[in-house]
């Protein structure tokens, strides 16, 4: 597994990172269907065996469950891996709501540390903060404080549109930006990627397989169980992504690759991107994506 430098953090991260959204399970919906915890842990360890050293999750994935699985699977190799998580989705009070208050961020980090079985987080990311907070320097004061205390090593933001990523770069404080980038979503190419590279901000590509559609296994008629985020997508959007996925599969077969491998190659052909985070919940998925 090749490694790249994650911007000014200096961290050498595997080009493919393990995305922990799916392994959080479907108990609270907003996920990717049912999971098997034993298989999830085998998938995590297999990723490590194949050279993946960057594991990305969020506290809200399975309301802490994803972090717990990563902590259990990686505790004996903690010094050999980099763990990134995200905070900002407060699920402790019942319904999930956004909360970036300094007191809550510190509370959330402490709970994440417990679940991850570690005394520090390598990369803490604010999870989908609004533009107003991204651009406000005061937003990062509690993160700077925790960095100074050694609770976190580096921090960044996880966003969707390139405008939010650009705002993060312009504040000069976040070390990294995690942003949507894939064959179906290329908006980041125009301004964000060059700006992040010029500022030496580490770039992590989220959703490189477009919620799994670019793996080429779905059609316009595909359906998903309740709680799977794809079950709530408008059918025209499903049709569009599924059609693209089928086309990627056709092209990949001509090159001796799987659709997922070709889609990941597209993302990693951008040298501004240090790591592509792929959601994986089975050993089979890990072996396809990391080989």
> Which residues are the active-site residues?
61
SS3 2: coil
User: What is d(CA 104, CA 226) in angstroms, rounded to the nearest whole number?
Assistant: 30
User: What is d(CA 50, CA 291) in angstroms, rounded to the nearest whole number?
Assistant: 8
SS3 176: strand
User: What is d(CA 44, CA 197) in angstroms, rounded to the nearest whole number?
Assistant: 30
Q: How many CA atoms lie within 13 Å of 9's alpha carbon, on the beta-carbon side?
A: 27
At how many degrees (to 10) do helices 37-49 and 283-290 cross?
20
**C-alpha angle 208-140-172 in degrees, rounded to nearest 5:** 70
Q: Which two tokens stand for residue 121?
A: 């987080």
């Amino acid at each position: 597994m090749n490694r790249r430098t994650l911007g000014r953090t200096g961290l050498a991260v595997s080009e493919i990172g393990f995305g922990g959204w799916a392994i959080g399970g479907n108990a609270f919906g907003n996920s990717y269907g049912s999971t098997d915890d034993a298989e999830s842990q085998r998938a995590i360890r297999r990723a490590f065996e194949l050279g993946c050293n960057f594991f990305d999750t969020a506290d809200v994935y399975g309301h802490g469950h994803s972090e717990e699985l990563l902590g259990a699977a990686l505790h004996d190799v903690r010094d050999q891996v980099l763990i990134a998580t995200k905070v900002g989705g407060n699920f402790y009070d019942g319904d999930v709501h956004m909360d970036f208050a300094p007191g809550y961020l510190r509370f959330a980090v402490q709970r994440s540390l417990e679940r991850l079985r570690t005394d520090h987080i390598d990369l803490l990311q604010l999870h989908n903060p609004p533009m107003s907070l991204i651009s406000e320097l005061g937003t990062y004061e509690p993160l700077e404080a925790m960095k100074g205390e050694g609770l976190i090593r580096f921090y960044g933001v996880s966003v969707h549109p390139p405008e939010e990523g650009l705002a993060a770069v312009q504040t000069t404080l976040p070390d990294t930006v995690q942003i949507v980038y894939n064959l179906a979503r290329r908006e980041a190419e125009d301004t964000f990627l060059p700006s992040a590279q010029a500022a030496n901000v580490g770039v992590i590509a989220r959703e490189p397989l477009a919620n799994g559609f670019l793996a080429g296994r779905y059609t316009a008629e595909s359906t998903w169980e309740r709680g799977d985020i794809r079950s709530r997508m408008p059918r025209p959007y499903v049709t569009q992504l599924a059609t693209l996925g089928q086309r990627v599969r056709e092209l990949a077969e001509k090159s001796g690759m799987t659709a997922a491998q070709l889609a990941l190659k597209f993302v990693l052909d951008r040298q501004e991107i240090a790591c592509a985070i792929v959601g994986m919940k089975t050993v089979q998925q890990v072996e396809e994506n990391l080989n």
